Amino acid sequence: MKIVADENMPLVRELFSPYGEVVTYAGRDLTAEHVWDADVLLVRSVTLVNAGLLEGSRVGFVGSATIGVDHVDQRFLGQRDIGFSNAPGCNANAVVQYVLSALFSLRPQWMEQTVGIVGCGNVGGRLYRTLKALGVDCRCYDPFLTREVIPDMASFEQVLKSDVLCLHTPISTGGAHPTHHLFNEAVLSQLPSETLLINAGRGAVVDNAALLRLLPEKSWQVVLDVWEQEPDICLSLLEQVNIGTPHIAGYSYDGKVNGTKMVRDAFCRWLGRDIPSAPVVQVPPVELDVTTLAQAVLATYDVTVENARMRAALAAKNVVTSKSFDQLRKTCPRRLEFIHYQAATGVSEPLRQQMSILGFQ
């Protein structure tokens, strides 16, 4: 069995080599020539999986180690009876860590404000439950969920009035509730003057051109991890936002490993084989001697460091934006989630409880 995989999937050789020969390539460079004789294709979000890639190949199973599936033509896979699985929720904790880092970096008193969440699936729902446990006032909008699932459900218009807006929707262009350019110029113009807008979902949920037009006359704070036209993003927009990162909100080591494992498990089910038990790797937790929750969060991950790295790379002479963007993702420093850290002995009990809510040991 030949297995073609994105080279950025951690542990892909370790987890899939028992089933066949694993050959890896840069995900964005994968072509029909690479996969024509493959039995299995394993990708991340940068690879478009469609007829152009798979027509004429012998691929029988496709796995995407990602939450989103907008890069996969599932209708085509169904027509060809090709098995498919993604990894919903694999990096939800990582995105929550990213959002909290951005909040504490830009607005230290954000916990006293109202946070609006648009899209409450695996990621947005995890963020909501975390913030509620911390006592934060939340408003949520997700037309596919009810108050039984999300008690703080509100109308879209009510959520727009929040002090902080966090976007975690998938991208869609059809149906009753399309999300493509959900935040168009008309919607963006309704945001209060002091809004903090964080998009760590999909780039095209926000009309980037409209955002660029409006930003000079607004006093918003904006954090963008996702962009339209990735990897060839708008550098003028990067200059205007407070924090810009190269689509790495979910790029914790834990999240990426979770994605690979979830796809491996689905692959085993597709084969009709037993799912192997995952090896337990004991990593001593890092002790944090901190006095505030902000210090604790930023000690594990400071998003402003990634912001500075991105700006420096894309400001270099003769840089090719798309290649630099992809290189930033490929060389993203290893990030561990909260579970790998613990409060030092002297940390106060109230702070220890807050850290425990986030997943600290």
Active site residues: 202, 230, 247
Pick the closest to residue 21 from 45, 37, 44, 32 (CA basis). Answer: 37
Give buried/exposed letters for 210-224 (b at 16+ CB in 10 A, else e).
bbbebbeebebbbbb
